[in-house]
Structures are given as C-alpha cells and as structure tokens.
Amino acid sequence: MEFIVISLLNGITYGLLLFMLSSGLTLIFSMMGILNFAHASFYMLGAYFAYQISSWVGFWPGLLVAPLLVGAVGALIERYGLRRAHRFGHVAELLFTFGLAFVVEEVVHLIWGKVAVDYRIPAELDGTLFTLFDTSFPIYKGFMMLVSVGMLVALYALLTRTRIGLIIQAALTKPDMVEALGHNVPRIFMLVFGGGTALAGLAGVIGGNAFVTEPGMAAAVGSIVFVIVVVGGLGSLGGAFVASLLIGCIQTFSVALSISITDVFALIGIALPEGSQVARLTITQMAPVLPYLLMVAILIFRPRGLMGARES
Amino acid sequence: MKSPFFHRLALAAGVMLIGGSAFAQVKIAYIDPLSGPFANVGEAGLKGFKEAAEILVNQKGGIMGQKLEFVGFDNKGSPQESQIQLKAAIDQGFRFITQGNGSGAAHSLIDAVNKWNARNPDKTVLFFNYAAVDPTLTNEKCSFWHFRFDANTEMKMEAISNYMEKDKTIKKVFIIGQDYAHGHQVAKYTKEMLAKKRKDIKIVGEDLHPIGRVKDFAPYIAKIKASGADTVMTGNWGNDLSLLIKAAKDAGLKARFFTYYAGGLGTPQAMGAAGENQVLQLTEWHMNVPAKDTEKFALDFNKKYPGIWFYYMRVNNMVQMVAQAMNTAKSTDPKAVALALEDMRFKVDTGEVWMRKSDHQAMQPLYISIFSKADGKSVKHDSEGTGYGWKTVASISQRDSQLPTSCIMERP
C-alpha cells in the first residue's frame, strides 16, 4: 500500500514535468504544423539561462526572465530562420529544426563548457513538504507540480477564453480570412513559436536544478517528448496532459516490478524455455523501452493518438 | 657576405633546425568520447593528460629531449568507433594509444591492437588503459600490449568488502548499477565477496538501469526504501550517480552509498550537502590524502581550468611511468617500452605503483573516503567548491590490494 501510494506520487510528479516539456511542442505542432526537433534544446537553454541569471540576481527573477529570453530567441529563430525554410516545404523545416538542435548544443558547449554547471534549488524551496509513510516529499517537487498544472490552466484559458486565443485558432484553419480581416498572420505564428519555446524554457528553469544542468540534458529528453505528443495525439493539449501522466506512471511502476518475462507468460499459462536471455529480463530492465513500445502500438492501432483531432 | 640580413637568416635557420629537432614528438592517441553524453568526462581526461605531459615530463627534460604530446580522437564512447579511430591514429603514425571510459571500448581496442600487432610486427602499437576496470582485461583477455593503471573492479570490490566486513551496522545491501559490463561486474563481485566475508548480510535487491538514460531516480529510490536496505552499492558514474544520490536525498533515504566514482567530474557538485556522511568512494587518491606534489598539481590545475577539477592521479602516474620507461629503454619502440614498463616500481607521493609483470595490472595504495564537511583540518580541501570534501576512513596498502591473476600472457 505504502509503496503504491509513493510510486503513484512519483509517477504523477514525473508525468507533470513531462507535460511541461511537451506542452510547448504540442502547441507549436497543433498551431503551426511544425514538428520542432529542437524543442528539447530550448528546454536546455532555459536551464542555462536560469543558471546564469540566478548566479547574478537569484532564482526568482530567473524564473520569470529566463523563459521570456528563451521565447525571444525562439521568436527570432522563427522570424529569420524557420519562416524562410517554411517556403521550401515541410522537409526543409524538419531539417532546419534538426540542425538547430546541434547548433544549440555546440553553442552551449562553447559558452558554458562540457561539464555540468552548479545550478541549485533555492534555499526557500529546499526542504520537505510533507512526510508520507516516512518517505519525505520535497517542497520543490510540489512546486514543480503546481507550475505544471498552472501552465495547463493558463494555456487552456488563453486559447479558448481570450481574444488573442481566438485569433490564433482562427489563423490556423483560415489564415487568408484572418489576414483579410486585418490581422498579421506571420506575426501570430511568430508569437506562437516564441510562446511554445518559452514554455520549454520554463520547464528548463524548473527541471534544470531538479536534475542536472549539462549539455547532454537536451538529448536525454529529446525523444520522450515526441512519444508524449504522439501518444497524446498530435496537436492535442489535453491529450499531451493525459499521455504525460500515463507515461510517468508506467515508468515508475515498471521500475517497481521485479518480475521477469517468464513470470508474465506463466500468468497466462505459457511456459517459456528456461535459460534464454530474453526470458530472464525483468520488467524493471524493460522500463525505459515501455514508452516507446506504447508509441509504436499507438501508431499501429490508433494513429491519431488518445485524443488527437486529426490523422497525421 | 657579412650583411646583417644574412646573419639573421642563418640564425633563423639554425634556430628552426634546433627547434625542429626539439619539437620532434612522442605522440599518444587519446581515444575517448569527446562528444555525446559523456563528452564532459572525456574532455576532462584529455585536459589532465595534456597538463600532466607538460608539467611532469616536458618541463623536466621530456623523453630523450623530445616532447610528449597527447592528441584527442573522438570515439563517441562506442566500441565500433574506437576501432575506426584506432585505424586513423595508426595511419597518422601513432604507436601508442590510451583509453579509459568504458570497458566495452577497451575490449574492442585490445582485440584490434592484438590483431594489428600480429600482422605488423614491425609497426606494433601499445595500449595504456587508465580507467576501464573490467577484470577480464588483465585476466582471461590479458595481453602483452595492454597495461592498466587503475585498480580493476575485483580489486576495488575486495577493498570495499573488507571495509564492509568490519562494519557491523551493515545488514541489508541493495545493488544498483548501469546496465553494461561494468555494472554487471560490480553486482557479481559484490554478491560473491559478501557471501564469503559476511554471511549475515542480505542482498535485498539488485537493479540495472540503462546507462545515461534515467532522469528521475525516484522510483528506484522508492524500491530501495521498500527493500529496507541500509547500504547501497553502486558502480555508477557521471550523471547516473549524481541523480541517484539527489533522488535519495529528496526521498529522505537514510542508506549509505558505496561508490567508485563519487569523487569527480561534477558528481560532488550535484550531490552538495545531500552527500554528507552518506556517500563513500574508493580511489587511488583524493584532495585530502597527504601527498604534497599531487596536491599542488591539483590546485594549479583547478586554477588553470576553471570548471574542471583535477581528479585522475593515475593519469599523472601513467604519464610519468610511460616517460620513464621510454627513457630507460632509450627507445620509443612499443615493444621496448612495454618491456621496460613491466615490473616497474615507481615512487609517487602516495607510495609506490608497481606494474605487475604477469598481467600488466598496476598495484597501488587505495583509499576509502567519506564525503564530509570541509573543516580545514582532516578535510582540508573541499571538492568542486561545495564546502564538502573527502575524509579518509580506510587506507589499503599496495600489498593488500593485490589479488591473484589467471592471466597466461603470450609474449612476442
């Protein structure tokens, strides 16, 4: 019981962080149709910017300024890079973002070096929020959850309840009509891209000190965010939320299960031959593969994802 | 023809000639990851080698008047790429290579070097291993062309298990490791040796996780906690170790961690206060071992390369021993160097490093230390600017660290 509750809590926390990471990606994809391979690089930039700012003026200004800076960088990249690449079609766009990821990594190497930087959790968030069955739950994790849920609510409200949200939505389906009504559609796209990357930046500010801020951090999360977007349904914010929680829990619980494939097959009455390497693999060892397995299964059986709006 | 112009020209030519011969170099190819997830580790190693060659060899007369130089070859951490880089180095005229990060790459290099040397007896290549700790490299797979300057996993586990044997507070041990050769071997030797030395210790769990992939170790920590372990044994390194210890702190896990690599390359910084009195390491040196020369070298190094902290004393040992072997042999032919290096006893400021002839495994004093608050006395230096440093809790003499080998070496 104790173990299940703790694991569930861990799963939800991890899932919410994944949501922070993938919400921007899903936003950009659903609004602009761009699959941004460099998304995790903006996550890394957020962490490094926050580290730099916090070393000058503290964590809290960094929490606010770093995502804005990342968003500004994102907007500039959209304006002067992506928009040009867009003219040559989707492949050019994909390749552009793909290359961008490497450029960002090298820039980070040049500026901050190849070793991890000392980006720490602020003292006021360093401590125990509550203790459950004598396992402590850190304040910082609670803070992470709060920001993530806040992000979902704010995004949802912005897109469906405000004027600018309505224009954004309209610009997606009927760009010509919106343009004819006097709105600057390219600028709206620039704002969306900047906003999406700012969200990744915010995730970086918060994830960077919870884990480790180092040049490999983008590559480490780069693939899992795509799993979430695909499983959740390309372009669905709600889907990304559900998928994040699902994958967070799958990973957490699969680590907990020390049963092997042989045991699983024994449950359904099939005895596997003894001694084979594969049969001895435990679920724990397979934990990292499971999200990708889920993605493949989703693509085969439900290509539009759990809550996706369209088939692509 | 006494014009000053010709004078100067002749002088310049003379200088270039002399300079030219003094700059003839002994070059060693450093084949380790310089890009990808372990680029930080590879980069720090290369800086260490270059600095050691400069300070400890070149400024002290070099090798028969020649300079020693290390050149980086990026193997991206992969065994296949290591072979490609080895080929590239050989094509460029390198006769010496060094590698350390990952026993997989070391296995691949040892095979390739053996094969090359069998086919090209006049252009042999010698392999200096400074950190790949798989015991088989100096046992079943031992080679005349391979020398290891780090203690292997079996020796390290022997030292750690001897320490555990005396500590009666240890009752339940959990083993966690990276899912590759090294992690498997740490697990294997932990179980074997504890079973012999302390039958009452229970191994309450054993987990292998993918290397360099896990972001959130909270689920593993929940599992360790549920197992009731009071001690965790891990061979993890880099971020896999930092994140593990961070997650343990977050969950309030009170277990002690026995590690190989908590001492360097960013891990102390990531642990911070979380590691205090919780994390132990086994190394050949740390900042608070009384060793004046190395201490000074380390302080200078840290000043010169901000952001990288000196970590590998064995790199210094290796560079000096290789230089001495070449000077003694009066040759830079790999075979002659190997013969001079065999059985060498080299004085360093922690004691003596002995390169055992039978398996080419270096024997050296080892230290078990615990992460504690820097107090200016027993913990004189902190680690990576954290305010915490390493305090020796046990020293293992060179003699005590020796273990028998099953090596049957083929000699040329």
Q: What is the ipTM of this complex?
A: 0.76
B131's torsion region: left (phi>0), alpha (psi -120 to 50) or beta? alpha
Query: Locate tokens 């912005």: which residue?
Result: A158
Contacts of B16 (CB under 8 A, 6+ apart): none
Query: Locate tokens 């990531």: which residue?
Result: B270
| Chain A residues lying within 8 Å of B269, measured CB to CB | 116, 118
CB-based contact B39 A215, cutoff 8 Å? yes
CB-based contact B218 A221, cutoff 8 Å? no
Contacts of B394 (CB under 8 A, 6+ apart): B159, B163, B367, B368
**CA separation for the pair A120, B308 (Å, rounded):** 18
Structural domain including A136 reads: 2-215
pLDDT at A273: 65
Which residue of chain A has the CA closest to B218? A10
**CA separation for the pair A252, A287 (Å, rounded):** 8
Amino acid at B353: V
| Any domain includes A208 | yes
pLDDT single digits (tens) B152-200: 999 999 999 999 988 889 999 999 998 888 888 999 999 999 999 988 9
B372's torsion region: left (phi>0), alpha (psi -120 to 50) or beta? beta
Q: How far is A102 from chain B (nearest CA, A)?
A: 11
Q: What value does the mean pLDDT of chain A take?
A: 84
CB-based contact A6 B222, cutoff 8 Å? yes
Retrieve residue A312's tokens.
């692509």
| Chain B residues lying within 8 Å of A212, measured CB to CB | 239, 242-243, 266, 270
Q: What domains lie within chain B, and their CATH numbers?
A: 16-151+295-363 (3.40.50.2300), 154-283+366-401 (3.40.50.2300)
Amino acid at B1: M
CB-based contact A288 B210, cutoff 8 Å? yes
| Any domain includes A222 | no
Contacts of A18 (CB under 8 A, 6+ apart): A224, A225, A228, A244, A247, A248
A74-88, A221-235, B21-35, range with greatest mean pLDDT: A74-88
Q: How far is A300 from chain B (nearest CA, A)?
A: 26
pLDDT single digits (tens) B69-122: 999 999 988 899 999 999 999 999 999 999 998 888 999 999 999 999 999 999
A272-276, B214-218, B311-315, range with greatest mean pLDDT: B311-315
Query: Locate tokens 């996706």: which residue?
Result: A308
pLDDT single digits (tens) B200-216: 999 998 888 888 778 78
Q: Which residue has the higher pLDDT, B254 or B113?
A: B113
pLDDT single digits (tens) B336-345: 999 999 999 9
Angle formed by the axes of helices A2-32 and A217-232, nearest 10°: 80
Retrieve residue B369's tokens.
């230390």
pLDDT at A161 over 60: yes
* % of chain B beyond a pLDDT of 90: 57
Residue pair A267/A261 in contact (Cβ under 8 Å)? The answer is no
* Count of Cβ atoms closer than 10 Å to residue A91 Cβ: 9
Mean pLDDT of A186-195: 88
**CA separation for the pair A138, A130 (Å, rounded):** 7
* % of chain A beyond a pLDDT of 70: 93
pLDDT at B12: 53
Number of domains in chain A: 1
CB-based contact A114 B265, cutoff 8 Å? no
- What's the helix, strand, coil split of chain A in %, to 5? 75, 5, 20
From the candidates A115, A121, A258, which should be mutated to test the interface with B, based on the most B CB atoms within 10 A? A115
- The DSSP line for B348-403 is ETTEEEEE-TTT-BEE--EEEEEEEE--SSSS-S-STTSSEEEEEEEEE-HHHH--
* % of chain B beyond a pLDDT of 70: 94
Mean pLDDT of A144-150: 90
Q: How far is B269 from chain A (nearest CA, A)?
A: 6
Q: How far is A294 from chain B (nearest CA, A)?
A: 18
pLDDT single digits (tens) A60-75: 888 889 999 999 999 9
* Count of Cβ atoms closer than 10 Å to residue B82 Cβ: 27
| Any domain includes A106 | yes
CB-based contact A116 B40, cutoff 8 Å? yes
CB-based contact B207 A284, cutoff 8 Å? yes
- Cα distances (Å, whole numbers) of residue A61 to A24, A55, A64, A65: 22, 11, 5, 6
From the candidates B184, B225, B250, B265, which should be mutated to test the interface with A, based on the most A CB atoms within 10 A? B250
Chain A residues with CB under 8 Å of a chain B CB are 2-3, 6-7, 10-11, 13-14, 17, 109, 113-116, 118, 120, 128, 131, 134-136, 138, 140-141, 211-212, 214-216, 219-221, 251-253, 255-256, 258, 284-285, 287-288
| Chain A residues lying within 8 Å of B307, measured CB to CB | 113, 115
Instruction: Tell me which residue in A113, A114, A285 faces B179 most closely, judged by beta carbons.
Output: A285
pLDDT at A81 over 50: yes
Retrieve residue B242's tokens.
């930092």
Mean pLDDT of A152-159: 88
| Measured CA angle at A69 (ends A67, A70), to 5 deg | 65
pLDDT at A284 over 70: yes
| Measured CA angle at B132 (ends B344, B53), to 5 deg | 55
Which runs of E-coded beta strand occur in B219-305?
231-234, 256-259, 279-283
Local confidence band at A311 (pLDDT 50, 70, 90 cut-offs): very low
**CA separation for the pair A230, B273 (Å, rounded):** 40
pLDDT at B242 over 90: no
| Any domain includes A169 | yes
pLDDT at B7: 59
**CA separation for the pair A110, A104 (Å, rounded):** 10
Chain B residues with CB under 8 Å of a chain A CB are 36-40, 43-44, 179, 205, 207-210, 212-216, 218-220, 222-223, 225-226, 239, 242-243, 246, 250-252, 265-266, 269-270, 272, 307-308, 385
Amino acid at A7: S
- Cα distances (Å, whole numbers) of residue B112 to B42, B126, B268, B286: 21, 11, 36, 34
CB-based contact A220 B265, cutoff 8 Å? no
pLDDT at B411 over 90: no
Q: What value does the mean pLDDT of chain B take?
A: 88
Mean pLDDT of B359-385: 90
Under 8 Å CB pairs connecting chains A and B tally to 108
| Chain B residues lying within 8 Å of A114, measured CB to CB | 39-40, 43
pLDDT at B257 over 50: yes
DSSP category for residue B92: T
Q: How far is B236 from chain A (nearest CA, A)?
A: 15
